[in-house]
Chain A
Amino acid sequence: MSSAFNNQKHLSCATLCKYMGTALAGIFLVDALTSPLVADELRIFPNKIKLTAKGDHQTFVAQLVDINGVTRDVTESVAISIADPSLVTVDRGRIRPILDGATTIHFSAANATVDIPVQVTDSQKARDISFERDVMPVFMKHGCNNGSCHGAARGKDGFMLSLFGYDPVGDHFRLTRQLIGRRVDLAVPEKSLVLQKAIGEVSHTGGQLFDQQSEDYQKMLQWLIAGAPEDPVDMVKPIGIQLLPPKIVFDGNEASQRTVVMANYSDGSVRDVTSLALFLTNNEAVVSISGDGHASANGRGGAFVFARFNKFTVGSEVIVLPTGHQFEWPNAPENNYIDTLVFEKLKKLHLAPSELASDEEFLRRVYLDIIGIPPSAEQYHQFLSDTRNDKRALLIDELLERDEFVDLWSMKWGELLRIRAVGNNPQYGRDAKAMIPYARWVRDQMAANRPLNEMVAELVVGSGSNLIQPTANLYTTAEPATPAKTAEDFAQLFLGTRIQCAQCHNHPFDRWTMDDYYGFASFFSGVSMRRGIEGREVIIFNNNNAKAVEHPVDGRAMSPKFLGGDSPDVAGRDPRVPLADWLTSPQNHAFRQAMANILWAHFFGRGIAEPFDDVRISNPPSNQELFFELGNRLAEYRFDKKKIIRDICNSRTYQLTSATNETNQFDDSFFSHSYVRRLQAEVMLDSISFVTQTSDRFPNSPMGAKASQLYGGNISNYFLTTFGRAPRETACSCEVNREANLSQALHMVNGDTVSQKIASCRIIPDMLKDKKSPSEIITELYIRALSRKPTKSEIDRLTEILEMELSDPNRVNELSATRAKADSNHIRATERLKTLRAEWEERQSEGQELDSLEALSAEIQSLEKQLNSYEKSYVSSVPQLVYSDILWGLFNSTEFAFNH
């Protein structure tokens, strides 16, 4: 079960994962299963069939959906009758043309029936063979042009193909003309090396890929027989593909489902490319898919299967339910649309949400999440004693207006925007002199709750002096700010997608092509930097005469093109202006979803798509409907982040307890319970400081600055670095490290941060002074550190320990000796006393007059008095020492280090 839910990791093989780009989620197919059914329904994919050439065929898939939404593949068993059998034949799931004309095919299974229209044209005319349409998919399908084979930068065994087929013209050249007479033999096409290698007739490092009977072999042979023609310039190109059925719900691990892949071409035609497509899954533990498109359930959970053809990748959602699982939805109340959408998904997955979190649990969670510090004891008592029904909502509203909320989100944006000073590289303009006002500007935006799209729009067109115009620093934080690097950062930060792969080849797991990449990079071709008046100042400006970004394959000068959008008219103006308009428009679903996902990820420890800056077709959101809706809401709210945060925090989903039930114990992506998250480094340090009422001193920061207020990633201390503070060197969301490690544990246990803060904390001495009882003090410490009262057993046990420590005089002496050993004043005084006594004895043994020893004697007496008073103070501070140890224990508890 554990692995079943651990999705989204399988596909990202180590070498590729960091290059993987993302898809804009809008391309997902509309979910056909959202409305409940009253009876079983038969669905045939595709639901319209067009056969347009001799030899054409169409694979179909029949899916029976029951009233629970569970799907069953009935392709084999579906009953078929053709209205006019003279036009088409159906054989083993394939429909082939006979004569031109239109008819319908009647499908029936169980009690459901459906009619599919079929149209046949050009049934007597074979389609011309095409290199790009027919041959190149074979290379893709068999992995010939992937990075470990001939797609490597230097090719393999002397033969190179463009990686994932980004350069068809080049591939044609390399096959036919790079070594004349070697790779293709047009006189005896069967003896072409490219065929012989593929069928293993001659030695091939990649082994035998297919045999002479296979369709792939026939396609290639047909192309060779035709003279290995190059495609005409006006060749129709695929403009998109569909993987059908769009949704599969398996009942049990034995089920399977065929799929069909349809390609849409630029001339409007649609073609069955199932046999040419490459199939992938993002979670083998849930679902696997064979090379011919058979998806098979493997284990409980949700996952996606994908088909890749040409430069397109599309996915279909797969849910695998336990066989015959009797699931009863607990009818959890829904607070808002978030709950509706989350619960909808949970219902489908047969996951029951956890119970509502207790007030104590909620209080700590919401404080740490919204303002980055735990509640004070007063706030704890106030909230717990509040009897109003809407006290949670009221608290959320109150916290959203706190300055600490602004600090936290300024820090978040500081991480995203990589605000970090680098003093010894003034030519990039990243001196603290520029970064402090930049961080300040971000804070001002947060404090004013500036709509995120407006803020981003202003950043995108940032120009001028880095010291005077904070927004110009958007372009100084990357080093060096090349158009390509800037484009990558923009995509990752503002569109939640990584396009790095497409710098060198079309993205293998997403839809980004090199044209997309360089078209997007072209927005920044004019962004230039020159030195300002002083060494730390640089001037960012747009130079419309700058050299255009060139396509590396053919040297084309690229004109600006929105990522996944149109080409704006940029003549005579800064292309960043239309870019900012497009990027931050409420209609740009990628932007609104990316922004909403960042907000969501903060409150759940993971994005709906995770990581939030790597949304792609092969890494889809775990709850698409929620992902879309949250983006839509953000746009509706005019990008007011507080409104979304209010929705999130008020949802029952957010307020669920972290305790799990039988069904959801392994869920870590569908939000069926609260996920336990280690506190971010800054929050942790600020919390310790808050609880102990101490402050930290950071360089280049005002007095009393909290860790969450630090302006730049360059400022850190041992604690923050150990606990994974983002150094803000890259745009990657992975920079904030929340993983636990041994150095963290050791630093908490015996590092100086915790011990010094406890030592200088006034809370315990004050309570002792007020003569509070042990249980009162313990309760107070628990409330301050963990926002909860201790359990009875905790109080009993700790009181017992206290009693044991404080009632035993030997133990008290031992503890006070420990204090003495740690006090340098005491050590110095003791040593001085020792020296003086030795001197006294020496002088006395020399027979010196007592008068002459008077001064010495006085000093000895005074020292003895001093030491005596020290020791008394140690004894009296023993209770403080013991309570401090309790506080130390609380800080070292897992409960403290995690938000739960």
Chain B
Amino acid sequence: MRERVSYSLAIVWLVVGMTSRAAEPKLHRASPQVAQRGTTVDVDLTGYFLKDAKGLLFYDPGVTVESFEAITEQEVNGKKVPQATGTRLRVRLKISESCPLGPIGFRLQTVGGLSEYQRFFVSPFSTTLEADESRIRNDDLEKSQPVQGNTTVVGTLREGYDLDTYKLTAKQGQRISAEVIAARLGVDRGLPDLHLLISNATGHVLAEADDSALYLQDPVLSVQVPEDGDYFVNVRHSLYSANNDIYVLHLGYFARPIAVYPSGGPAGTELEVTIHGDPLGVQRQSIPLPTEATVGLATKPIVMGEISQEISVELRDAVTQSFAPTPNKLRVSPFGNILESGANQSPEEISGQAAAELPIAFNGIIESPGDVDCFKFKAKKGEQLRIHGLASGLGSPVDLAIWIKSTSGKGRSFEASDSRLNHHGLPGTNGVDRVTVDPILFFTAPDDDEYVLGVEDERGNGGDANVYRIECQSDWNATFVYIPPEPENRFAPQARQVINVPAGGRYNTTLSIVNTNRAYTGNLLLKAIGLPEGVEMIAPPITPDMTRVPVVFSASPNAGNTATFAELSVHPIPTADSPNPESLQSGFRQTVVMNSPGNNDYYLQIPLQKLAIAVTETAPFDLEVEEPRGSLVQNGELPLKFKIKRNEGFDDPVTVMMEWKPNGINTVTPLNLPGDQEEGEYLISAARNATVGTFFVTLTAVNGNYQPQYRDPNARTFISSKPFSLSIAEPHLDARFARAAVERGKTSNLVVTLNHLKPFAGKAKLSLTRLPRGVEVLEDYREITSSDKEVSFTLKATDESLVGSYRGMTLDVTIDDNGQVVRQFTGYGTLRVDAQRRGNPDS
């Protein structure tokens, strides 16, 4: 828990020289990251630009902000150390009595916008700190820290081999449970991967765990103690490589359920479940399932034909009446459940059973190694089904594999053991997401027939908590959008994942499109719901060839400093052929990635369904782009003129770039405009095969370097230009070079034939470029009109020229198109440079 001196000092030094201007807040960490529900807690936020806080934007209900207090001094080793402005903020949170247990996501809002996503955990138990402040370390049984049962401890593993030991007294037959939350807290670097062990007073190990199927790197344990006495719970880093890793340890006599069976049921019913993983035995409970679910911003009823939703359930132990510290997951479906009968080990065993009508969810447990469960269902020929196996995604240890065979023995069998992120409507990220371990089988019934669905564990494991659920229903397709991570985000994986639009200004982003199964083939319109007042979103239609779409948010000058969630959705655009296209399932999906042990791999992936958007105070500068009047032609270049409008006193250098580019368009690297300059030209070029058409584009300006470093202390404000049209056209001219030769020291004529593809007004300037070394053109340029069919240049080969054949000369055409300078390259010429002929001896 103790802040290290070096760390605090580092902050002081890093922020020296920071401007006092508001900027997007950088939130590195909240401390503590846990509190009991029904209490009020002071949480310290650390980062940069945390001053002028406006509030916290919570992704989940139940927590409210009571007050903010800027921290200017911090006590380190008994001495008060001053803290740099905006690096530390204390927020008093009130956790309501009804606040759901488990993680609550939030972002800090300041006048500079919204911060990164961070998490906070709500516990059913009172919290305490690890008493490791002094030199007495709780490393072994003798020095262990006594704790009351059902407590949440916040501790730190300081060095690699740090061991934290807690003592708990228990009676014979009583249950002791422990749950670690460390990896789930989320850190921007590293991986707090902890190990948990329970021993008795002699050091005999009752149980230990490194990981858990429920929470991956976070272990959970539950044991029944054999006799009255003191028991010890020990926490350490799995690899003995802790580095001030903070953890939350729930410790006590509660039940820690590791599986709920069945792991889902029909909406609006009381689901009778068995709860597994308790050393005292399997418990039964009845769980009321909701009739509606919140997806994105809206809460909607769960109706037949639609997809199932995942909910968290807080399970209460029948013995101690205490809640499990973090909830378990359940599926709520618009269709019924079938539970395995027990006699379903093979297709033959279920031959007498009736085939289920779809949609349905089959539920079972792979109880023993090698267990195979079979279910029977009916399908009609051509029916497109989505058979989704759920286990790993719900925290079950089963590595599901499913197969389908016709009961009539006709046709081939189908099988699946994994799925892809997009099948779940999730954007691709680095690192493995556990939902993809669950199989999705897209199955088109070859006949009207009865089919057997087989369920196995791919690794051949089994156990009484190895629960699975197979949801079988008609296939659907959906299109989601998300903000793609950019390569420069490697030091700041959450960079630019919120919309911080300045009042009176614009902010742009790029959205990627993810289709769950098949891509939608028509044009789509992007719509936003729930934008802050005074903010509008401008986006071009999404055509089938686009994988990304540029989007601009603009705020009116009087839009207040507000922050909210918005939902994005795509809608098919009616066409003459299809005037009333069916609506698509769609929405915004973002995966926040945390816990990176290296290699750009992220072990904590938190899916979000809401776009966070804030209106910030006015930006210190604005970007204006002169819309090109002419077209950029294929194999041509076009300079975009822009202007940085600087507010009084703003003299930061500004980087200008084009973030989204139409196919075939290249730009120069981001252009840096020094602090004393206001105007510049941004050169864009089109490849030979650039898509012809008119595109919606913007330029983006940012003060300072656009690439964030790790814990970058620099203030950055991103501004978008007004969107403008960029027209890409076919070239004006097509040039053909006659073969030419020139003798060293002499001149020669080169004739180029011109084929006019698109007439232009006035005159065009033509010059030759990419000449070989030592060859010069005597004319700087030639001027032509649209009616000229030929142009010639005089080439001179100097003594520097090299004898031989040279290819690659091209014609550089500059045309004034509507007052816009348009440049184009055309033609490909070959020139032979001959050696100087010797004088005729006879002459």
User: A55 at interface (Cβ–Cβ under 8 A)?
Assistant: no
Docked Cα-Cα span, A868 to B437, in Å, equals: 72
Beyond A436-B239, A700-B240, A703-B161, is A464–B434 a contact (Cβ under 8 Å)?
no
**CB-nearest residue of chain A to B461:** A464
Asked if A423 and B598 make an inter-chain contact with CB atoms under 8 angstroms apart, the answer reads yes
Asked if A533 and B432 make an inter-chain contact with CB atoms under 8 angstroms apart, the answer reads yes
User: A539 at interface (Cβ–Cβ under 8 A)?
Assistant: yes
Asked if A424 and B598 make an inter-chain contact with CB atoms under 8 angstroms apart, the answer reads yes
User: A229 at interface (Cβ–Cβ under 8 A)?
Assistant: no
Map CB proximity to A onto B763-807 as digits: 1 under 8 Å, 0 otherwise. Answer: 000000000000000000000000000000000000000000000
Asked if B459 and A701 make an inter-chain contact with CB atoms under 8 angstroms apart, the answer reads no
- With a cutoff of 8 Å between Cβ atoms, the chain B residues found around residue A702 in the complex are 161, 163, 236, 240
- With a cutoff of 8 Å between Cβ atoms, the chain A residues found around residue B161 in the complex are 697, 701-703
Map CB proximity to B onto A116-136 as digits: 1 under 8 Å, 0 otherwise. Answer: 000000000000000000000
Docked Cα-Cα span, A468 to B598, in Å, equals: 22
Map CB proximity to B onto A529-558 as digits: 1 under 8 Å, 0 otherwise. Answer: 001111111010100000000000000000
Report which of B238, B460, B598 forms a contact with A436, defined as CB distance below 8 A: B238
Beyond A436-B239, A539-B399, A699-B160, is A534–B603 a contact (Cβ under 8 Å)?
yes
- With a cutoff of 8 Å between Cβ atoms, the chain B residues found around residue A699 in the complex are 160, 240-241
Q: How large is the interface on A (under 10, 10 to 19, 20 to 34, 35 or more residues)?
A: 20 to 34
Docked Cα-Cα span, A536 to B458, in Å, equals: 19
User: A146 at interface (Cβ–Cβ under 8 A)?
Assistant: no
User: B475 at interface (Cβ–Cβ under 8 A)?
Assistant: no
Asked if A700 and B160 make an inter-chain contact with CB atoms under 8 angstroms apart, the answer reads yes
CB distance from B674 to the nearest CB of A (A): 40
- With a cutoff of 8 Å between Cβ atoms, the chain B residues found around residue A700 in the complex are 160, 239-241
- With a cutoff of 8 Å between Cβ atoms, the chain A residues found around residue B603 in the complex are 534-535
CB distance from B550 to the nearest CB of A (A): 32
- With a cutoff of 8 Å between Cβ atoms, the chain B residues found around residue A432 in the complex are 239, 241
User: A392 at interface (Cβ–Cβ under 8 A)?
Assistant: no
Asked if B432 and A532 make an inter-chain contact with CB atoms under 8 angstroms apart, the answer reads yes
Report which of A467, A533, A535 forms a contact with B599, defined as CB distance below 8 A: A535
Asked if A437 and B459 make an inter-chain contact with CB atoms under 8 angstroms apart, the answer reads no
- With a cutoff of 8 Å between Cβ atoms, the chain B residues found around residue A655 in the complex are none
Report which of A426, A433, A468, A531 forms a contact with B193, defined as CB distance below 8 A: A433
Asked if B238 and A534 make an inter-chain contact with CB atoms under 8 angstroms apart, the answer reads no
User: A624 at interface (Cβ–Cβ under 8 A)?
Assistant: no
CB distance from A866 to the nearest CB of B (A): 24
Most buried by B among A426, A467, A535: A535
User: A593 at interface (Cβ–Cβ under 8 A)?
Assistant: no
Asked if B239 and A463 make an inter-chain contact with CB atoms under 8 angstroms apart, the answer reads no
User: A465 at interface (Cβ–Cβ under 8 A)?
Assistant: yes
Asked if B459 and A533 make an inter-chain contact with CB atoms under 8 angstroms apart, the answer reads no
Map CB proximity to B onto A444-480 as digits: 1 under 8 Å, 0 otherwise. Answer: 0000000000000000000111011000000000000
Binding site secondary structure of chain A: loop
Beyond A467-B211, A534-B216, is A703–B239 a contact (Cβ under 8 Å)?
no
- With a cutoff of 8 Å between Cβ atoms, the chain B residues found around residue A423 in the complex are 597-598
Beyond A433-B193, A539-B459, is A703–B139 a contact (Cβ under 8 Å)?
yes
CB distance from B160 to the nearest CB of A (A): 6
Docked Cα-Cα span, A65 to B829, in Å, equals: 96
CB distance from A526 to the nearest CB of B (A): 14
Report which of B139, B431, B459 forms a contact with A465, defined as CB distance below 8 A: B459
Report which of A426, A436, A531, A533 forms a contact with B216, defined as CB distance below 8 A: A533
- With a cutoff of 8 Å between Cβ atoms, the chain A residues found around residue B597 in the complex are 423, 535-536
Docked Cα-Cα span, A534 to B599, in Å, equals: 13
- With a cutoff of 8 Å between Cβ atoms, the chain A residues found around residue B238 in the complex are 433, 436
CB distance from B784 to the nearest CB of A (A): 60
**CB-nearest residue of chain A to B603:** A534
CB distance from A387 to the nearest CB of B (A): 36
CB distance from A712 to the nearest CB of B (A): 10
Docked Cα-Cα span, A701 to B434, in Å, equals: 29
**CB-nearest residue of chain B to A701:** B240
User: B217 at interface (Cβ–Cβ under 8 A)?
Assistant: yes
Asked if A426 and B210 make an inter-chain contact with CB atoms under 8 angstroms apart, the answer reads no
Asked if B598 and A533 make an inter-chain contact with CB atoms under 8 angstroms apart, the answer reads no
Map CB proximity to A onto B169-207 as digits: 1 under 8 Å, 0 otherwise. Answer: 000000000000000000000000100000000000000
- With a cutoff of 8 Å between Cβ atoms, the chain A residues found around residue B236 in the complex are 702
User: B601 at interface (Cβ–Cβ under 8 A)?
Assistant: yes
Query: In A675-717, which residues have CB < 8 Å from any B CB?
Result: 697, 699-703
Report which of A436, A464, A531 forms a contact with B459, defined as CB distance below 8 A: A464
Query: In A518-533, which residues have CB < 8 Å from any B CB?
Result: 531-533
Docked Cα-Cα span, A537 to B459, in Å, equals: 13
Asked if B434 and A426 make an inter-chain contact with CB atoms under 8 angstroms apart, the answer reads no
User: B392 at interface (Cβ–Cβ under 8 A)?
Assistant: yes
- With a cutoff of 8 Å between Cβ atoms, the chain A residues found around residue B239 in the complex are 432-433, 436, 700
**CB-nearest residue of chain B to A465:** B459
- With a cutoff of 8 Å between Cβ atoms, the chain B residues found around residue A703 in the complex are 139, 161, 163
Map CB proximity to A onto B589-623 as digits: 1 under 8 Å, 0 otherwise. Answer: 00000000111010100000000000000000000
Docked Cα-Cα span, A426 to B431, in Å, equals: 11
Docked Cα-Cα span, A394 to B160, in Å, equals: 40
Map CB proximity to A onto B209-241 as digits: 1 under 8 Å, 0 otherwise. Answer: 011000011000000000000000000101111
CB distance from B398 to the nearest CB of A (A): 12
Asked if B431 and A535 make an inter-chain contact with CB atoms under 8 angstroms apart, the answer reads yes
- With a cutoff of 8 Å between Cβ atoms, the chain A residues found around residue B431 in the complex are 534-535
CB distance from B542 to the nearest CB of A (A): 32
Asked if B217 and A534 make an inter-chain contact with CB atoms under 8 angstroms apart, the answer reads yes
**CB-nearest residue of chain A to B239:** A432
- With a cutoff of 8 Å between Cβ atoms, the chain B residues found around residue A426 in the complex are 599, 601
- With a cutoff of 8 Å between Cβ atoms, the chain A residues found around residue B460 in the complex are 463-464
- With a cutoff of 8 Å between Cβ atoms, the chain A residues found around residue B458 in the complex are 539, 541
Docked Cα-Cα span, A471 to B215, in Å, equals: 23
Asked if A533 and B241 make an inter-chain contact with CB atoms under 8 angstroms apart, the answer reads no
Report which of B139, B160, B434, B601 forms a contact with A533, defined as CB distance below 8 A: B434
Asked if A467 and B437 make an inter-chain contact with CB atoms under 8 angstroms apart, the answer reads no
Report which of B139, B160, B432, B461 forms a contact with A534, defined as CB distance below 8 A: B432
Docked Cα-Cα span, A853 to B193, in Å, equals: 59
- With a cutoff of 8 Å between Cβ atoms, the chain B residues found around residue A539 in the complex are 399, 458-459
- With a cutoff of 8 Å between Cβ atoms, the chain A residues found around residue B432 in the complex are 531-535, 537
CB distance from B230 to the nearest CB of A (A): 22
**CB-nearest residue of chain A to B417:** A530
Docked Cα-Cα span, A703 to B437, in Å, equals: 37
- With a cutoff of 8 Å between Cβ atoms, the chain A residues found around residue B241 in the complex are 432, 699-700
Asked if B434 and A467 make an inter-chain contact with CB atoms under 8 angstroms apart, the answer reads no
Most buried by B among A424, A536, A539: A536
Docked Cα-Cα span, A743 to B246, in Å, equals: 42
Map CB proximity to A onto B399-421 as digits: 1 under 8 Å, 0 otherwise. Answer: 10000000000000000000000
CB distance from A403 to the nearest CB of B (A): 13
Asked if B210 and A437 make an inter-chain contact with CB atoms under 8 angstroms apart, the answer reads yes
- With a cutoff of 8 Å between Cβ atoms, the chain A residues found around residue B139 in the complex are 703
Docked Cα-Cα span, A811 to B597, in Å, equals: 56
**CB-nearest residue of chain A to B183:** A534
Report which of A437, A468, A533 forms a contact with B392, defined as CB distance below 8 A: A533
Query: In B717-746, which residues have CB < 8 Å from any A CB?
Result: none
Map CB proximity to A onto B131-151 as digits: 1 under 8 Å, 0 otherwise. Answer: 000000001000000000000
A-B contact list, 28 entries, CB within 8 Å: A426-B599, A432-B241, A433-B193, A433-B239, A437-B210, A464-B460, A464-B461, A467-B210, A467-B211, A531-B432, A532-B432, A532-B437, A533-B392, A533-B432, A533-B434, A534-B217, A534-B603, A535-B597, A535-B601, A536-B597, A539-B399, A539-B459, A541-B458, A697-B161, A701-B160, A702-B161, A702-B163, A702-B240
7 nearest A-B pairs in the assembled complex, by CB-CB distance: A703-B161, A535-B601, A432-B239, A533-B434, A464-B459, A700-B240, A702-B161
What is the interface of chain B, defined by CB distance below 8 A to chain A? 139, 160-161, 163, 193, 210-211, 216-217, 236, 238-241, 392, 399, 431-432, 434, 437, 458-461, 597-599, 601, 603
Q: List 8 additional A-B contacts (Cβ < 8 Å) besides A423-B598, A537-B432.
A: A423-B597, A463-B459, A467-B210, A533-B437, A699-B160, A700-B240, A702-B161, A702-B236
